[in-house]
Structure 1
């Protein structure tokens, strides 16, 4: 019985001991719950650095053209083939059109006949005119007018015939297809004897490969950094060990409304033929903006689904999200574009967990 009572005493003593160990916690201090977040702040830096912008580009021939025949005819002779270099005005192909030869012969015969008629009309008019002058009344005025009218009619017919003959001769010249500029033949689509008509298929493809155009599109955010002295250094996949340099030749100066980019062209001499039109190019543009821009540490920028922001503070030390656009990265800093003055106070380390309007405490 005594042992049983001792167990009961020990049991209640243990309960009291546990209760004593669990001292009631104090109610949390409301000031601690709402204590402002301590943050480091910075101001945007106004810098004016040079930078390199890497973009894709494409090499294209300075001139490229599909060569068509101006008239319908059969291919009589092909003078060049794919890969041949040609000079401006060089004969590329000769066509033949038998009906055109017949028309030319007919026009010539008609022209000769009309010129003979004109000679007779002229002689008759001169004879009647002289008789009228030397023997007044011997020839009626009506007869003189008729002779003069016949002369004018035959003269007009001769002029029309001559024009028709010249037109046929001009069309016959079109049977000889010539190169509009110096370049290389890159394709041929017809053989001797083929009929060239309204098929819409060119006879040749001609490109000027001695000069190339490097085409690059620059994003809108960098458009103001382009100048007439902008330099490009580029390489192509076929010559990875070589680099080439060029300066801007043509600047569209207008942002494309669809791509929101600026089109540039660089002219590349290629007399040695090392480069090919159609090559893909890795381009480095050496740029410097017209005026300084703002830079902040990379950790000061938030990239979220709703946009890109930096976190600024107002006079009451409340957080305000400022939308920005991103430019170049430079030594751990990033270029930002926004409606800033440079006097803004920004959080050095931004976080999406910091909400708009939240009060913070600046670390000294």
Structure 2
């Protein structure tokens, strides 16, 4: 009898523990609880939108002007702020040793020219005699005269090249503007020695034409077209809106910044703008193809990421990771595994988990 009582007590305790586990299991599985939600569907559209980005104006051309050869500055014709034309003489150097070398090369050319005239005259005379009277000139004498003329001709040609080189080097004593523009920097004065410092003589920029450089985030790269126009203002003229046409598109996303480099040409003959100005540019863009939009309330931005709650078979919830695009009224452009035929929860919540069953409110 006593054994039966103990056995019954054990069964009673086991039953209580089982009930307790069932209760705990129900408490630990809130995801199985039905939640009522309203659903909607993504839509596809291709709206135009405006993008504002920082930008910078640069001179169309900018170059450091160096003296190609070593020499002393004899004359400077321009200074900072001067407008110059292409080919204009900016400065003149002097190098006496180059004048001496040029004079020596010219004298050598004249001497070799005289030698060539003598050897050529002798060969022509022997050739004439040989043709008129067979045997009057030996073959050896004839060939020696011919060889002498060829040697003198080659020596003269080499000397002429050397003389031309000397004159060409002397031309480098004249520093000219490679293009039309403005002198923005001058680093040497008359009497200074040029050629060894590594410092440019002048800095020349073309401020009549400017380049507006803009870096567009990767997300908007596909919205850029050849007809894209930029509108911008500068601090010095806050009431004036300038426009620029896209001229250069890198076409390749930078792997470090994940952005696309653009350049717009800005005519500036009136000099209303300055190279180096910073500005905020406005781009009117349009996607090349329709993209997906969902209600902004459907997008959940949590610590674990940005996602939209999509319903799959059996009203089961699936979290779909998305990348945000442009906001349009109450809609948000999203990029992810979403299609117009999908059903999504209209008001997303971080508390709704993947795999959870929900009830749709009609």
Contact 2:31 2:356 in 1 (8 A): no
C-alpha offsets along residues 289-333 of structure 1, whole Å, 9 cap, x if unaligned? 112111112221122233211111111111111011111111122
Alignment of 1:217 with 2:206, yes or no, is no
What's the TM-score once normalised by structure 1's chain length? 0.89
Task: Determine which of 61, 64, 71 is the counterpart of 1:63.
Answer: 61
C-alpha offsets along residues 149-197 of structure 1, whole Å, 9 cap, x if unaligned? 0001001111111111111111111111111110111111111111111
Deviation at 1:340, TM superposition (A): 2.3
Moved more, 164-173 or 127-136: 127-136
Cα 1:126–1:264 change in 2 (3 A) is: same
Aligned residue-pair number:
337
Deviation at 1:130, TM superposition (A): 2.3
Alignment of 1:338 with 2:341, yes or no, is no
Deviation at 1:229, TM superposition (A): 1.1
Deviation at 1:110, TM superposition (A): 0.4
The answer for the alignment partner of 2:94 in structure 1 is: 96
Q: Distance in 2 between the 1:198 and 1:360 partners?
A: 80
The answer for the alignment partner of 1:352 in structure 2 is: 350
The answer for the alignment partner of 1:234 in structure 2 is: 232
Alignment of 1:150 with 2:148, yes or no, is yes
Q: Distance in 2 between the 1:281 and 1:71 partners?
A: 41
C-alpha offsets along residues 33-87 of structure 1, whole Å, 9 cap, x if unaligned? 9641111111112122111011111111111111111111111111111111111
The gaps in structure 2 that reach 5 residues or longer are: 1-25
Aligned Cα root-mean-square deviation (Å): 1.9
Deviation at 1:95, TM superposition (A): 0.8
Q: Distance in 2 between the 1:271 and 1:33 partners?
A: 69
The answer for the alignment partner of 2:178 in structure 1 is: 180
Mapping 1:263-342, distance limit 5 Å: 263-342=261-340
SS of residue in 2 equivalent to 1:324: strand
The answer for the alignment partner of 2:10 in structure 1 is: none
The gaps in structure 1 that reach 5 residues or longer are: 1-27
Cα 1:31–1:341 change in 2 (3 A) is: closer
C-alpha offsets along residues 265-308 of structure 1, whole Å, 9 cap, x if unaligned? 11101011111111111011001111211111222112223321
The answer for the alignment partner of 1:248 in structure 2 is: 246
Q: Distance in 2 between the 1:127 and 1:29 partners?
A: 125
The answer for the alignment partner of 1:74 in structure 2 is: 72
SS of residue in 1 equivalent to 2:352: coil
Q: Distance in 2 between the 1:288 and 1:74 partners?
A: 59
Deviation at 1:29, TM superposition (A): 12
Q: Distance in 1 between the 2:167 and 2:205 partners?
A: 30
Bigger Cα Rg: 1
Contact 2:32 2:356 in 1 (8 A): no
Contact 2:51 2:283 in 1 (8 A): yes
Contact 2:31 2:357 in 1 (8 A): no
SS of residue in 2 equivalent to 1:198: coil
SS of residue in 2 equivalent to 1:253: coil
Deviation at 1:32, TM superposition (A): 11
